[in-house]
Structure formats: structure tokens, C-alpha cells
Amino acid sequence: MAKFGLSKDERIKNKRDFRQVYSVGKIIYSDDQKLKVSYFPEKNSEQAGIKIAAAVSKKAGNAVWRNRVKRLLRESFRLKKEILLANCIAKSICLKIIFSPNNLNQKKQKKLKLDDIMPAVIDLMNKLNSRL
């Protein structure tokens, strides 16, 4: 596998995992309040690592804008996933993360770039790393 990339094993796909993160997991907000992350650390897991998803509400904007936000969130995580990955593997934790915009919508910010989202994602990942 390449150094950077999101395989099928690194994505949250099934409904059970989403339900688990939303019902039992905790929420952290970025310092600029643009993004929030819901997470659930599964301790003593045989598959240590990270599983992520990006969820954007329909109220945030039209489909094109929502899909762009999801692509940017996944790309930001993909570029900086080493921040969390080594810690999760060392502690044998399967960390399930769902990124979503908190104070970010199409009316406030029509054109969105990777530089707009990357600092908030890094901030959230550092906060998660300190809580593991």
C-alpha cells in the first residue's frame, strides 16, 4: 500500500459504525469552530488503525459544494494521517472518526480550498491525539 491513501479498511462504510460513533462517541470542535469531529476509540482492537468518514448536512449547501467539502476533508486527513496513526497502532486502538462542518456553509464561503480546511483538520487531529 502507498504511504498516502485511504483504502476500504480506512473508511467507515456500514450503518452500525456510524450509529456507534454518533451514539457513544464524543465531539470535539476546532479552534476556529469551522469543523467538528465525532470520534469513538475502540480499545484492544485486533484491527488497530483509523477509520474515517466525512458527513455534510443538506442544509450546508448544494450537492456540488457538499461533495467538494467531503473531498477536501478526506484529502486533508489523508495528507496528515501519520499524526494519529502511529499512536493508534502503538496503543492497539481502532479510532473511528466522522468529520463534519460546524460553522461552515455555502452562504458564508462559496469557494472553498484545501488551505481553508487543512488548519482546522490538523487542529482536530492534534486534539484527538492528546485525548487517546
Label residue 128 by pLDDT band (50, 70, 90).
very high
pLDDT digits (tens, 9 = 90+) for 84-103: 888 888 888 999 999 999 98
Give the residue extent of every domain in the chain: 8-131
- Beta carbons of 73 and 99 less than 8 angstroms apart: yes
Is-contact 56 103, C-beta < 8 A?
A: no
CATH number for region 8-131: 3.30.230.10
Q: How far is CA 37 from the centre of its chain?
A: 6
Taking the C-alpha atoms of residue 101 and residue 103, their distance in angstroms, rounded to an integer, is: 6
pTM of the predicted model as reported, rounded to 2 decimal places: 0.89
